[in-house]
Amino acid sequence: MGSKTIDDQVGKTSEIQDVSNLLARVDKLNQLGIALSSERDTKRLLENILLGAKDLTNADAGTMYTKTVEETLKFEIIRTDSLNIAMGGTTGVDIPYPALPLYKNGQPNLQMIAAAAALRDTTINIPDAYEAEGYDFSGTKKFDQMTGYRSKSFLTVPLKNHENEIIGVLQLINAKDAHTGNIIAFSKADQQLAESLASQAAISMTNQRLIEDLKKLFESFIEAIANAIDDKSEYTGGHCERVPVLSELLAKAARRCEDGVLKDYHPTEEDIYELRIAAWMHDCGKVVTPEYVVDKATKLETIHDRIHTVDTRFEVLKRDAEIAFLRRKMEAMEQGDHAAIAAMEEDFNQSIAKIKSDQAFVREVNVGGEFMSAERQNRVLEIGKTQWTDGTGTKVNFLTEDEIKNLNIAKGTLTPEERTIINHHVVATQNMLRTLPFPKHLRRVPEMAGSHHEAINGRGYPDGLTGDQMSVGAKIMAIADIFEALTAADRPYKPAKTLSESLKILGFMKKDQHIDPDLFKVFIKEKVYLEYAQTYLNPKQIDDVIPEKIPGYDP
């Protein structure tokens, strides 16, 4: 009787321990589920699923597969503790094995246990692979022979998403007895826990995949918009693509600063991503900018270059001068006044020479430049006031007021009104982006994208912000936008500048407090300009840069 009582007590104690152990494993399963739901990195998610399943079932090894569109199972994570094998996931070690085909010659591949679990949508629990029938374990046995390992118990669980589709397979190998360490079969409790984890894992994987798909869709959409804006003008192609590159290079260089104002600038990868998105979208407002303004290659260009119309007038002037000369010459010859003919020819040649000179001058000033002197502007006015007879026989000024106004543009090719139209693209960008419900991690996109034309001295546009009112991201984009424009080879109003020329202009802008001085210093010191140039500039533009000679640069 006493012996039986002791046995009963031992049995009850064992049952209590089993229940306690099971409760602990269930609690661990719940914790795993919570951890999986918060993981945003796909590699870490898959790794955590496998490691969590191994821990729950006390398995020595395991493999995580994902199903591909090619109807295969791709190896994602491989772990074998006793052999110190760790491949895939965050290890950085590539998995050399080819994906497992779900079908061979059009037939279901039911001989391979992982493929069979996926195709049959059922968990397969095998106590000993060497004794199992109906499955091909030749590859497993070959591996064992090479490594001295003994693959025995297998627990293979399919993962299904919310649409009841198989998205992966979790395979665990060699369950270990918690007390002896011996290899045993996976228990019913092991299977139930693994299936429960697989269910939670499938939800996390599906959510992660949906997030990734939405992210790719979002990125593709904004890149499509940016490319459409670049395609809108043959002269700005690639601008929206290159500014993000420059912005990211400068941001990462600034992150390396260990002293000065930027020593506390520590953007995360998520912050860098936010900046990249803002840079892609910084010119989205140009969808409302007329092409004739964006593409205005010369001062007289609208739908076409009006210099051709002005050229025609000059040709009329030449024709009229020639006709007048010939008439006077005929009259002199009829009157026998041969002495006057030489003087007439001299006057005619001088008139033609002046017309040709004026014509060449107008063609020259029609091309935009950095500066136009008052003397040249006055000459345009004088030419404009010259009288000529139009097609109706009416005497009118040679140039219209609008033509004079355009030809006398002191810098570039745009009039103040056209410059206002161009500048409005930033307002349009702000209006467009502020209407979009950006998620929390992208909430600063409208501010950064909409402030890239602001200046530290408060003289930028559209809001006249000062440096302390601008984010670091907006200041970074301001420099990136300017430098890209200076070095771009596709602008109609200027040739592409060399590195030294561009940095000289950037230096003067720093001295004028147009751009952030600390970021300018980083841009030069860390040679951000050179890293960008080696990929995006013509080799002829990459000349020798002497930092000490750059205006405003103090190393």
Average pLDDT over residues 449-478: 94
Sequence letter at residue 30: N
In this predicted model, which residue has the larger pLDDT, 27 or 251? 251
Looking at residue 82, its pLDDT comes to 95
> Has residue 33 got a pLDDT over 70?
no
In this structure, what DSSP letter does residue 468 have? G
pLDDT bracket for residue 86 (50, 70, 90): very high
pLDDT bracket for residue 357 (50, 70, 90): very high
> Has residue 127 got a pLDDT over 50?
yes
Looking at residue 72, its pLDDT comes to 96
Average pLDDT over residues 276-294: 83
> What distance in Å separates the CA atoms of residue 429 and residue 102, rounded to the nearest whole number?
49
> What distance in Å separates the CA atoms of residue 346 and residue 365, rounded to the nearest whole number?
29
Q: Choose the most confident range, by mean pLDDT, from 205-209, 298-302, 353-357.
A: 353-357
- Least confident stretch, 209-223, 235-249, 487-501: 487-501
Can you say whether residue 552 is alpha, beta or left, with left for phi > 0 and alpha for psi between -120 and 50 degrees? left
What's the pLDDT tens digit per position in 212-221? 888 888 888 8
- ∠248-252-254 over CA atoms, to 5°? 115
pLDDT bracket for residue 443 (50, 70, 90): very high
- Least confident stretch, 368-377, 455-464, 496-505: 368-377
Looking at residue 2, its pLDDT comes to 53
Is 409:372 a contact under the CB 8 Å cutoff? yes
Give SS3 for 5.
helix
In this structure, what DSSP letter does residue 457 have? B
> Has residue 94 got a pLDDT over 80?
yes
Phi, psi (degrees; rounded to nearest 5) at 127? -65, -40
Judging by DSSP bridges, how do beta strands 100-101 and 85-88 pair with one another?
Answer: unpaired
The CA distances from residue 419 to 301, 409, 422, 457, 461, in Å, are: 14, 11, 5, 20, 12
pLDDT bracket for residue 143 (50, 70, 90): very high
Average pLDDT over residues 285-291: 78
Average pLDDT over residues 85-111: 93
What's the pLDDT tens digit per position in 59-83? 999 999 999 999 999 999 999 999 9
pLDDT bracket for residue 226 (50, 70, 90): confident
Of 411, 422, 412, the closest CA to residue 461 belongs to 422
Q: Is 121 exposed, middle or buried (0-12, 13-18, 19+ CB in 10 A)?
A: exposed
Lookup: tokens for 309: 């119309």
490-495's contacts with Cβ under 8 Å and 24+ in sequence apart are 490/234, 490/235, 490/236, 490/237, 490/238, 491/235, 491/236, 492/235, 492/295, 492/296, 492/297, 492/298, 492/413, 493/296, 493/297, 493/298, 493/368, 493/412, 493/413, 494/368
In this predicted model, which residue has the larger pLDDT, 488 or 233? 488
Residue whose tokens read 């355009």: 406
In this structure, what DSSP letter does residue 301 have? B
Which residues 6+ apart lie within 8 Å of 424 measured at CB? Answer: 285, 288, 289, 462
Looking at residue 22, its pLDDT comes to 52
For the chain, give the number of residues.
Answer: 555
Looking at residue 507, its pLDDT comes to 95
> Has residue 128 got a pLDDT over 90?
yes
> Has residue 511 got a pLDDT over 80?
yes
Q: Is 417 exposed, middle or buried (0-12, 13-18, 19+ CB in 10 A)?
A: exposed
What's the pLDDT tens digit per position in 322-353? 888 899 888 888 888 777 888 888 888 999 99
Average pLDDT over residues 200-229: 83
DSSP H or E run through 61: strand 59-67
- Least confident stretch, 38-52, 114-128, 151-165, 167-181: 38-52
Is 208:45 a contact under the CB 8 Å cutoff? yes
Cis peptide leading into residue 462 (ω within 30°): yes
> Has residue 6 got a pLDDT over 60?
no
In this structure, what DSSP letter does residue 168 have? E
Is 425:233 a contact under the CB 8 Å cutoff? no
> What distance in Å separates the CA atoms of residue 391 and residue 293, rounded to the nearest whole number?
30
If you average pLDDT over every residue of the chain, what do you get? 87
Measured N-to-C along each axis, helices 499-511 and 528-536 cross at an angle, to the nearest 10 degrees, of 140
> Which domains can be identified in the chain, with CATH numbers?
2-211 (3.30.450.40), 233-295+417-549 (1.10.3210.10), 307-407 (no CATH)
Displacement of CA 489 from its chain's centroid (Å): 20
Looking at residue 47, its pLDDT comes to 86
Lookup: tokens for 519: 């970021």
String of DSSP letters for 324-381 = HHHHHHHHHHHTT-HHHHHHHHHHHHHHHHHHHHHHHHHHHHTB-BS---HHHHHHHH
What's the pLDDT tens digit per position in 375-433? 999 999 999 998 888 878 888 999 999 899 999 988 888 888 888 877 788 888 899 99
Looking at residue 140, its pLDDT comes to 92
- ∠286-287-293 over CA atoms, to 5°? 60
Average pLDDT over residues 306-333: 87
pLDDT bracket for residue 10 (50, 70, 90): very low
